[in-house]
Amino acid sequence: MALYDKKGPIVVKEEPGVTFYCMCGLTEDAPYCDGSHNGQGTGKTPYIVRFKEAKTVRICGCGKSEKLPYCDGAHGQDEK
Ligand code: FES
Q: What is the pLDDT of residues 40-54, one digit of tens each?
A: 888 999 999 999 999
- Whole-number Å distance, alpha carbon 60 to ligand 1 midpoint, is 14
Number of domains in the chain: 1
Q: How far apart are the first and last CA of the chain?
A: 26
Please tell me if the CB atom of residue 3 comes closer than 6 angstroms to any atom of ligand 1.
Answer: no
Please tell me if the CB atom of residue 44 comes closer than 6 angstroms to any atom of ligand 1.
Answer: yes
Domain that holds residue 48: 4-76
By three-state DSSP, how is residue 2 classified? coil
Cβ(27)–Cβ(19) below 8 Å: no
- Whole-number Å distance, alpha carbon 80 to ligand 1 midpoint, is 31
- Residue among 5, 10, 36 whose CB has most ligand 1 atoms within 8 A, to mutate: 36
Q: Can you spell out the DSSP letters for 28-47? A: SSTTB--STTTTTT-----E
Global pTM? 0.86
Amino acid at 20: F
Q: What is the pLDDT of residues 25-41, one digit of tens each?
A: 899 999 999 999 998 88
